[in-house]
Amino acid sequence: MTDATLSAPPQVTSTTPLIAADGVPLKQKLARTTRRMKMRALFLTLPLVLFLIVSFVLPIGQMLYRSVHNPTGSNVMPNFAVQIENWDGQGLPSDDIIETFVKDMAAARKNREVGKTIGNLATRVNYEIPGSRSLFTKTARRADKITEGPYMAALIEIDKKWDNPNLWLTLQRVTKDFTISFYLAATDRKFDEAGSIVRADELYRIYLPILWKTIWLSALITALCFIIAYPVSYLLSTLPLRTSNLLMILVLLPFWTSLLVRTSAWIAMLQTEGIINNVFVYLGFIDDNQRIQMIYNMTGTVIAMVHILLPFMILPLFSVMKTIPPSYMRAARSMGASGTYSFRKVYFPQTVPGIAAGTLLVFILAIGYYITPALVGGNDGLLISNLIADHIKKTLNWSLGAALGTILLVVVLIFYWLYNKLVGVDNLKFG
Amino acid sequence: MKLTKLLASTAVGVAIAFGSVAAQAAGDLTVVSWGGAYTKSQVEAYHKPYIAKTGVNIKSEDYNGGIAEIKAQVEAGNVTWDIVDVELSDAIRACDEGLLETIDHSTLPAGADGTPATEDFIQGTLYDCAVANIVWTTIYAYDKEKITGDAPKTMADFFDLAKFPGKRGLRKGAKVNLEFALIADGVPAQEVYGVLATPEGVDRAFAKLDTIKSEVVWWEAGAQPPQMLADGEVAMTTAYNGRIFNAVAGEDKPFEIVWDGHVWDLDLWVIPKGAKNKEAALDFLKFSTETEQLAKQASYISYGPARKSSAPLVGKYHNKDIDMGPQMPTDPANLTNAVQNNFEFWADNADQLNERFNAWLAK
Amino acid sequence: MSMSQRMKTPGFIGLLVATVIFFLFTRSLAGTFGFIVIFGIPYFAMSELPPYATIQEKVGKYAFLSLCTLIFIFLILPILVIIPLSFNAEPYFTFTEGMMALDPNAYSVRWYADIVRFGMTAPDAVEGWWSDMWNNATWVRAMRNSFFYALLSTLLATGFGTLAALGLSRPEMPFRSAITSLLISPMIVPLVITATGMFFFYSQKNTFPFFPDGLVNRDIGIILAHATLGVPFVIITVTATLTGFDRSLIRASQGLGASGWTTFVKVIMPLIIPGMISGALFAFITSLDEVVAVIFLADVDQRTIPRQMFSGLREQISPTILAVATILVLMSIALLTAVELLRRRSERLRGLSPG
């Protein structure tokens, strides 16, 4: 397939270079042609690469940026941000700095521009010091009435929480545009009163536990998919073409059916008044009032996701198994190996590439799943994606959502890299 | 080649035929609310008379609360929602963050009896960017046909699995549930926020929730709890009082509301900054919060009007002989052990408490 | 072994006895039917084993086939089950007793009627019914949006994707592995991350030509997102048709004096068209099924069918969703058939499989 005349260097042994018809050394001309062909091939992919850079790479890049860049503080209080930056952090800031703070606050209170209001700052600080939101909104309402110093005393008169050096340390941190606060939050850590990094209170730890849970649930789903897919793929690969094509439709139809359709189908199957429970009650396995809770929890997520991801395991396994000649097994048997022994030593090793492809693909897809856990996950079937979506769509803590997203992205990319190493992306196929 | 060309041109043609969906909508006033029985009451009491009066067409959309959509629209500069019905804490936060148009209270119409608007509205229902229309509350309810013996009477009964076995429905989130847990644990409704402001109070609330956690079915949309009760999925559930009332009055469901320890709140109209039909939205806001319209809404759903002058006009349910007065969260008999949702507490603590709630839920 | 011969074997008698015992035990016709399906199909599927096969091997094979039958049922049953459920006369997601007894009154097409009627301003009006339905019915609007986005994003993805696949499958392509990894990555990167990134990026002001307010809450944003997500499928299917493509055909064509363009149109195109079309179908179904990007990027006016199903399943489960699902399943069957036919045609063209 490869074009030998183009890629292999010419076998020239003599010292005088071969010359092409137009007088250019052949070697040079060949190099030029090769380069041009390379450029042409590259040129064909260029439109798509550019398209993806704009529609996909830059957006994700910007998400990474957003996870460390949050300019709320300096947007709302531009002058104060400059002044506090050089504060040495000892005791309370000088009254000059406080004066700027009060003036900035009064100005921000009047500002109705999105992203530059006192509410934005209050929300930002509240992430660092929970419960401090109203301190800012309340103080801002009175800030324009403070017209002369000492300003610190005036602030303390409004609320004595201002008389706390740690609050000002936090403000110094918040008014810097770049921060690692959101990565700390995303790994259940925070700055303590003195500004050093500590783990969050155990009752508030959620992101790391959910990340681990996501990883092990994905592993479980992958394992289940493998156990289920292996025999079916084997059967399909041994059947005559006509029959296997027919049975393949049973695998491909779910693959082509909408995710939402399959998820609704599982809700109909698994809910307490659903088909499986009805069958169990009908057959007398369980009592009518002891129906099993199989959905809106982890079980539901696992069952539905195994069903949804199964084709991604069957297809690569099948395409590898199809290429294994049945004569190998027969040879092993004829030489006296037992069925299990010849399977273990002859057949199984040959399917390993398919296993690698299938398990990695299913694992990668499972780890980022959102829709199915959101619909059937209930309380304990939620995955990390659901938390990310929550921060983007509900709590509006976008920076934290971006930080969590970045962490998930890194995990996925590690496995994608592994997939590329072991399997190669160009071996991905459907059907 | 011909085939591809044919396919491509057909695709473009069909696409154009299917498109133009969005173009249809322009010019209509988009009113966004919570859906179900609640939106229906607004359609009857506000939208229909407004359309009849002005000829402006109203497009009604549903949402699930929160300010995410408003924020996204305002920041994207493509505000398609003209007027939105929001909870108080969301109205305050959105206003603080500059996402809403400010509303001049002096331009609101006076009450039917001539009282200026600023006095006619119940105290604490007018804000810089928001005008309240109704008072609603979260109560809990049960099915009379399922619980036949001793009826549950107090919030503590909701948490008593021994006395009243069966699944419980609760809204997914920290808000209101923590208040309920403390009230059930013996904290008087009026002192709930004081206790909740302390770390011990929060621990106490979660400890109380722990006692029923295994039996809880969580709901997210207001339409879910009546359905869960009807399907027998839960024995009791917290719910918005109007939804339960409408299931009883409109669909003859045998549900009973328990008025102990409920946490009441406001729904307010807000106009997102840069709304396409800002003037019309303001006009609709003024119209819908007039004495007569607010009173009329109360004949479709059991939420209390935000104007004092509307109260005497509240009569019966629109097509049945049910007195609406005693169904209102604001009825004195229903307020004996109740508390108003403290928006400032939740503005300060929602992030942290929801994080803890999620961690608790995932365990 | 013929059918009649097979029926006389001890295995068949065993199956029969087991079925009878099962029936006597459960007294349920439906249950017995299921029993026959699970254990009967493998029996008839048992191909002839060599004479030296031991009893263990026979039992093993039987167990293996039963297991496979169960797995196939697991794969297909949930999808098939929603079809009868969508004709439920009651607003439940489960078979009512009337349905089990095949009572015609327990079945109805009310949920299908609901698809067209839900959201209409005057569903019972005679005048203007069609335009009311077309413009106001919630599901119809969602359907129009879905097809609009799917068609346009498919065109984009197929156009760019085919071109890139042609480049990638050239032997002299530099950085092939890196570029392929990049082009496949929209399929690998979790949708939530892609959607989050797009949500931030597309909502920037004064960044995009013609759209000073950004691309969020507009059709264009969703079309770009869906095209991005469809690209990997086009790349994969088109490169698959190009592997095994005999490049000497190109040289033959050029040797006979054809220009590059003629070669492309007359030689390459006919061979990759099946791959292109199945890639396009993949991209189409990807867009049609996509909901995460829609959740992040779309406003109410841009709601699609899966988005509508998503909120339906979350908020108010009604069999209307099952009726829509049934229609979607039928559509999937049609698309799957199309892809299968194309794949066979492509294999035949490239001489990979006989007939």
* Residue pointed to by tokens 């991350």: C193
Structure-block tokens of residue A307: 């069903």
In terms of domains, do B212 and B340 share one? yes
Give B145's contacts (C-beta < 8 A, 6+ positions apart).
B254
In terms of domains, do B188 and B226 share one? yes
Comparison of pLDDT for A389 and B59, the residue scoring more: A389
What is the reported pLDDT for C50? 67
In terms of domains, do B217 and B343 share one? yes
From CA B270, how far away is CA B272, in angstroms rounded?
Answer: 6
In terms of domains, do A103 and A163 share one? yes
**Topology, domain C130-349:** MetI-like fold (1.10.3720)
Q: Which of A37, A257, A388 lies at the smallest CB-CB distance from C329? A: A257
Domain residue limits at B53: 25-135+266-322
Reply yes or no on whether the pLDDT at B101 is more than 90.
yes
User: Considering the domain boundaries, does residue A12 fall inside one?
Assistant: yes
Nearest-Cα distance to chain B for A39, in Å, is: 26
In terms of domains, do A236 and A332 share one? yes
Reply yes or no on whether the pLDDT at A343 is more than 50.
yes
Number of domains in chain A: 3
Reply yes or no on whether the pLDDT at B197 is more than 60.
yes
| Predicted confidence band of residue C61 (pLDDT cuts 50, 70, 90) | confident
Reply yes or no on whether the pLDDT at B43 is more than 70.
yes
Structure-block tokens of residue A407: 């962490």
**pLDDT by residue (tens digit) across A144-178?**
888 887 899 999 999 999 999 889 999 999 999 99
User: Considering the domain boundaries, does residue B328 fall inside one?
Assistant: no
In terms of domains, do B155 and B275 share one? no
In terms of domains, do B291 and B161 share one? no
Radius of gyration of chain B (CA): 22
| Predicted confidence band of residue C51 (pLDDT cuts 50, 70, 90) | low
From CA C113, how far away is CA C122, in angstroms rounded?
Answer: 14
| Predicted confidence band of residue A236 (pLDDT cuts 50, 70, 90) | very high
Reply yes or no on whether the pLDDT at A2 is more than 60.
no
User: Considering the domain boundaries, does residue A382 fall inside one?
Assistant: yes
In terms of domains, do B39 and B112 share one? yes
| Predicted confidence band of residue C48 (pLDDT cuts 50, 70, 90) | low
CB pairs under 8 A, 24+ apart, for C15-20? C15/C39, C15/C40, C15/C43
From CA A276, how far away is CA A294, in angstroms rounded?
Answer: 9
**pLDDT by residue (tens digit) across C313-350?**
887 777 899 999 999 999 999 988 888 888 787 777 76
In terms of domains, do B241 and B183 share one? yes
B351 contacts chain C (CB < 8 A):
no
* Residue pointed to by tokens 């730890």: A205
- Positions of CATH 1.10.3720.10 in chain C: 130-349
What separation in angstroms does the CA of C272 have from each of A41, A103, A310, C256, C303? Answer: 17, 68, 29, 21, 34
User: By C-alpha distance, which of B155, B158, B136, B156 is closest to B147?
Assistant: B158
Please report how the helices B177-184 and B199-210 are oriented relative to each other, as an axis angle in degrees rounded to 10. Answer: 80
Q: Which of A76, A126, A400 to mutate to test the interface with B (most CBs of B within 10 A)?
A: A126
In terms of domains, do A352 and A243 share one? yes
Comparison of pLDDT for C100 and B340, the residue scoring more: B340
Domain residue limits at A170: 72-179
Q: Which of C82, C188, C295 lies at the smallest CB-CB distance from A268? A: C82
B226 to chain C: which residues are within 8 Å by CB? none
Nearest-Cα distance to chain B for A295, in Å, is: 11
**Is the Cβ pair B21, C144 closer than 8 Å?**
yes
- Please report the DSSP string for C95-111 in residue order: --HHHHTT-GGGB--HH
From CA B220, how far away is CA B235, in angstroms rounded?
Answer: 17
Of all residues in chain C, the one with the smallest CA distance to A416 is C188
Nearest-Cα distance to chain B for A253, in Å, is: 24
**Average model confidence (pLDDT) across chain C:** 85
The CATH number that applies at residue B314 is 3.40.190.10
**pLDDT by residue (tens digit) across B156-191?**
999 999 999 988 999 999 999 999 999 999 999 999
**Is the Cβ pair B359, A134 closer than 8 Å?**
no
One-letter amino acid identity for A431?
G
In terms of domains, do A76 and A50 share one? no
B224 to chain A: which residues are within 8 Å by CB? none
What is the reported pLDDT for A88? 87
In terms of domains, do A242 and A175 share one? no
Point out the least confidently predicted range of A119-123, B62-66, C319-323.
B62-66
**Is the Cβ pair A375, C237 closer than 8 Å?**
no
B224 to chain C: which residues are within 8 Å by CB? 315-316
In terms of domains, do A348 and A239 share one? yes
User: Considering the domain boundaries, does residue B353 fall inside one?
Assistant: yes
- The mean pLDDT value for B133-140 works out to 94
User: Considering the domain boundaries, does residue B2 fall inside one?
Assistant: no
Q: Which of A277, A379, A383, A400 to mutate to test the interface with B (most CBs of B within 10 A)?
A: A379
In terms of domains, do B230 and B352 share one? yes
* All chains having 3 or more CB pairs closer than 8 angstroms to chain C: A, B
**Is the Cβ pair B73, C300 closer than 8 Å?**
no
Structure-block tokens of residue A21: 């018809």
What is the reported pLDDT for C153? 96
Q: Which of C60, C175, C189 lies at the smallest CB-CB distance from A412? A: C189
Nearest-Cα distance to chain C for A92, in Å, is: 37
Q: Which of A37, A68, A99 is the last residue of a domain?
A: A68
C102 contacts chain B (CB < 8 A):
no
The CATH number that applies at residue A398 is 1.10.3720.10
In terms of domains, do A300 and A370 share one? yes
User: By C-alpha distance, which of A411, A6, A418 is closest to A212?
Assistant: A411
Number of domains in chain B: 2
**pLDDT by residue (tens digit) across A181-200?**
999 999 999 988 777 899 99
User: Considering the domain boundaries, does residue B15 fall inside one?
Assistant: no
Give C137's contacts (C-beta < 8 A, 6+ positions apart).
C115, C116, C117, C118, C119, C120
- The mean pLDDT value for A331-345 works out to 84
User: Considering the domain boundaries, does residue B149 fall inside one?
Assistant: yes
**Is the Cβ pair B4, C273 closer than 8 Å?**
yes
- The mean pLDDT value for C266-289 works out to 88
C151 contacts chain B (CB < 8 A):
yes
Q: Which of A16, A37, A68 is the last residue of a domain?
A: A68
In terms of domains, do B166 and B230 share one? yes
C255 to chain A: which residues are within 8 Å by CB? none
Q: What percent of chain C stands above pLDDT 70?
A: 92
C222 contacts chain B (CB < 8 A):
no
ipTM of this predicted complex?
0.88
